[in-house]
Amino acid sequence: MAVIVQKYGGTSVSNPEKIKAVAERVLGYSRQGHDMVVVLSAMSGETDRLISLANSMQDQPDTREMDVLISTGEQVTISLFAMAVKAAGFDAISFLGDQVKIHTSSLHTKARIEAIDTEKIKSHLKQGKIVVVAGFQGVDETGDITTLGRGGSDTTAVALAAALKADQCEIFTDVEGVYTTDPNICSSARKIERISYDEMLELASLGAKVLDIRSVGLAKRYKVPLHVRSTFVATEGTWVVEEDKEMESMLVSGVTYNKNEARLTISRVPDKPGIASKIFMPISDAGIVIDMIIQNTRAGDLTDMTFTVPRTDYKKALEILRKVAVDIGAEDVSSADNIAKVSIVGVGMRNHSGIASTMFHVLANEGINIMMISTSEIKVSCVIEEKYTELAVRALHDAFALDNKDIP
Amino acid sequence: MAVIVQKYGGTSVSNPEKIKAVAERVLGYSRQGHDMVVVLSAMSGETDRLISLANSMQDQPDTREMDVLISTGEQVTISLFAMAVKAAGFDAISFLGDQVKIHTSSLHTKARIEAIDTEKIKSHLKQGKIVVVAGFQGVDETGDITTLGRGGSDTTAVALAAALKADQCEIFTDVEGVYTTDPNICSSARKIERISYDEMLELASLGAKVLDIRSVGLAKRYKVPLHVRSTFVATEGTWVVEEDKEMESMLVSGVTYNKNEARLTISRVPDKPGIASKIFMPISDAGIVIDMIIQNTRAGDLTDMTFTVPRTDYKKALEILRKVAVDIGAEDVSSADNIAKVSIVGVGMRNHSGIASTMFHVLANEGINIMMISTSEIKVSCVIEEKYTELAVRALHDAFALDNKDIP
């Protein structure tokens, strides 16, 4: 008899038949006596449809009204789901974010969950009902509807699990779990059975899309056992849990890559205090998020600065950097948008030395030049030419024996 | 500087372009300094789309969940409308039924408005905003979303106008107002400039679809001046207001008809006390609404009973009546679904005699046989053969000189 929170994404509830299938799956748990709380996204495509309606009304749609609009997507799926459960002879009740209530900040379209009232949910669970909650939405202190941003339903589910002290939180999606790397480019990619919160955070921040990064942070903070699995098959997925000895014995847990960045370099900058701020402030002011930064000092009090930005902001960043170069007397600006970031992640790195150098060696062996390196306690990232991405991923996956779960 | 409540129906807001056009129209009033409260329906077709989704989930969709589902239609239009106003450089804010709040009974899909909080609306009007309110929806005392049934947005508008003590309530629709009769069958039909609440109530109950009957009752009770007019042309429509001398001087205000009924007759029933109840109880129990009832007494303690029901319930009613006939020893059951009810309405009838007999005379002159007659203080209805409907309407419109507004 556990309390289980399950979240189903848009592709899992994209039409009435799929909603019925999800209801059947949830009923399987109810029949075993579990208390079920189900969090649903909007039907896939619906949020985009609503956003495009908004864009046809106003160039920069008002964010308060945007939230009133896009929160309808989840409102539709939760009511249809409750009907499907009732049609199957079981009882269910749906709740919107402002009915639960899920209290959030007032930052429309990007609100943060601040608190959740669980009394209503608990009382309906006690009455034997499946409680269905709209993902992605909440209410601020003035009673306005808010939304949590893309991927927000994952966060709703984890926050509910934390507030209810649920035994587990299951995120149902269209893949079977978290993989050692992208199965589309590496046929020996393997589904990971257990991964630590910190590793999952790194993977999510490096581009793995299977879980929203905020939900992982929340799960870590409240120690909510997270289970990422497929809606369409019954097999176990990946458990995201607290770090343990077994995980530490693995050198590397996963290999990931990101092709959505571009590199910019400003060369032979007179190296004076405050120079980094002069370079990066105008770029930040333009709303561009900088990822990696590397500084090389040259002879003669000159320095080179290389950094990466999202590829969509590449042209804007380059334009700004060229102006800055003139202002601060730099000699040259160079750039490339045909780059990729390849990363290895694993808590084992904390206790094993030489993992980074193994990575560099593997890439060198394949004739791949490394342009930038960035490390954290549990990951190493290398920027390389984009065309080598797949080769690099496969070589690293192989070198760290990720295809074989028995050999750490 | 008036407070004006305006309601726009589904065909007026059926796509982004029409929503923008409505916003422009409302802005015209705002620029004149009026305080504007706008009530919107869902885009035309949207409520039906949602209901059909519900029907695909559950044979008899749960009504609480149905309200969660179908209330999204208005939520979409109010947010898009507020964006359109803001795009035009004016300020607006949208409110859902549970944000206003519009308190209702808990009878899901058929709730009644019980009270409206106006503080929030007044405060935003004071800040110079156009306040946009979702029609058709409210909230019950447990915080559940409710809806008011078909045509409910008219009721929302009138209830808001009453609560705000608004100077007028305008119902914008796809026709130019209330007509002396259906312009599609009588080319000399004329738009009525002013009509009394009671006449409008009779017309609405007799089948005129331009206004929801509950909204007219509410307008009468709170003396809200109602203005029915077209979204697509600028001309004045029809004012529904308190009765005055001029209206009383008119013999008849309008001619209406209804082809959606069927007639049933049970003949030679032994006339004992309680016989009517034995006939009509089983029909009511089946959820069938009976409209007109006529009883003729025959010689020998026998009686004939004739009544009408909605045509959609005709077969079911006939089946029940045949069983009843056997039980109570009636001699015969006859019926017809090719009938129509033609009615004349006017407060002038209170003070003028002979109007009913003029009606009978006009129909007789055209060779039309009258099967049933029903009268109230301000209307006379005759059931005739359906094929004579148009002829009867035109003859009555002509006889009471409804094409000429100068001759009472």
Region A202-228: mean pLDDT is 90
Q: Is B76 within 8 Å of A53 when comparing Cβ atoms? A: yes
User: What region does A306 belong to: left with phi over 0, alpha with psi -120 to 50, or beta?
Assistant: beta
Q: Is B78 on the interface with A (CB under 8 A)?
A: yes
Pick the residue with more confidence: B300 or A59? A59
Q: How far is CA A108 from the centre of its chain?
A: 20
* pLDDT value of residue B408: 43
**Residue A250 vs residue A266, higher pLDDT:** A266
pLDDT of residue A248: 83
Q: Which of A57, A96, A129 to mutate to test the interface with B (most CBs of B within 10 A)?
A: A57
Q: Which domains does chain B have, with CATH numbers?
A: 3-174 (3.40.1160.10)
Cβ distance B57 to A96 less than 8 Å, yes or no, reads no
A104: three-class secondary structure by DSSP: strand
In this predicted structure, the answer to whether residue B405 has a pLDDT above a threshold of 70 is: no
State yes or no: pLDDT of A371 exceeds 50.
yes
* Residues in chain A closer than 8 A to B40 (CB atoms): none
For all residues of chain A together, what is the average pLDDT? 93
Minimal C-alpha gap between B237 and chain A (Å): 29
**Which of B40, B56, B65, B71 to mutate: most A Cβ within 10 Å?**
B65
Task: Find the mean pLDDT for residues A152-173.
Answer: 96
Amino acid at A190: R
User: Could you give the percent of chain B with pLDDT greater than 90?
Assistant: 80
B19 touching A (Cβ < 8 Å): yes
Q: Are A120 and A94 in contact (CB under 8 A)?
A: no
The pLDDT tens digits of the residues spanning A217-263 come to 999 999 999 999 999 998 999 999 999 888 888 889 999 999 999 99
pLDDT of residue A351: 81
User: For position A296, what pLDDT does the model report?
Assistant: 83
Instruction: Classify A192 as helix, strand or coil.
Output: coil
Q: Which two tokens stand for residue A261?
A: 């960045």
How far B384 CA lies from chain A's nearest CA (Å)?
45
A96-139 pLDDT, tens per residue? 999 999 999 999 999 999 999 999 999 999 999 999 999 999 99
B151-190 tens-digit pLDDT? 899 999 999 999 999 999 999 998 999 999 999 999 999 9
pLDDT score of A406: 57
**B110 at interface of A, judged by CB pairs closer than 8 A:** no
Using an 8 Å CB-CB cutoff, list chain A residues near B75: 68-69, 71-72, 75
Q: For B163-229, give the secondary structure using H, E and C.
A: HCCCCEEEEEECCCCCECCCCCCCCCCCECCEEEHHHHHHHHHCCCCCCCHHHHHHHHHCCCCEEEE
> Scanning every residue of chain B, which has its alpha carbon at the shortest distance from the alpha carbon of A18?
B57
Task: For A313-370, write each residue's pLDDT tens digit.
Answer: 999 999 999 999 999 999 899 999 999 999 999 998 888 888 999 999 999 999 999 9
Compute the mean pLDDT over every residue in chain B, rounded to the nearest whole number.
93
Q: A76 at the B interface (CB within 8 A)? A: yes
pLDDT tier for residue B16 given thresholds of 50, 70 and 90: very high
- Give the sheet arrangement for strand B226-230, strand by strand: B92-95, B130-134, B35-40, B3-8, B168-173, B226-230, B238-241, B194-196
pLDDT of residue B181: 93
Looking at residue B406, its pLDDT comes to 57
Nearest to B78 among A19, A50, A68 (CB): A68
pLDDT tens digit string along A39-95? Answer: 999 999 999 999 999 999 999 999 999 999 999 999 999 999 999 999 999 999 999
CB-based contacts of B273, cutoff 8 Å, min separation 6: none
CA proximity to B116, closest of B158, B159, B74, B152: B159
What's the pLDDT score for residue A375? 87
Q: Assess whether pLDDT exceeds 60 at residue A37.
A: yes
- Confirm if A6 and A41 have CB atoms less than 8 A apart: no
Using 50, 70 and 90 to split pLDDT, how confident is the model at A408?
A: very low
As for the ipTM of the complex, it is: 0.85
* Interface touch A76/B69, C-beta < 8 Å: yes
Cα–Cα distance for residue pair B263/B309, rounded to 1 Å = 7
Is B86's CB within 8 Å of A50's CB? no
Structure tokens at B98: 């549970």
Residue in B14, B18, B19, B57 to test binding to A, most A beta-carbons within 10 Å: B57
Candidate from B16, B54, B98 with C-beta closest to A80: B54
* Yes or no, beta carbons of A58 and B99 under 8 Å apart: no
Cis peptide preceding A126, ω within 30 of 0: no
Give which of A265, A266, A286 is closest to A327, Cα–Cα.
A266
Strands B261-270 and B302-310: antiparallel
What is the average per-residue pLDDT within A390-395? 96
pLDDT of residue B162: 97
CB pairs below 8 Å between A and B: how many? Answer: 101
Min Cα–Cα distance to chain A from B80, Å? 6
B338-365 residue pLDDT tens: 999 999 999 988 888 889 999 999 999 9
Residue numbers in B near A80 (CB within 8 A): 53-54, 57, 65, 69
**Beta-bridge mates of residue A294:** A306
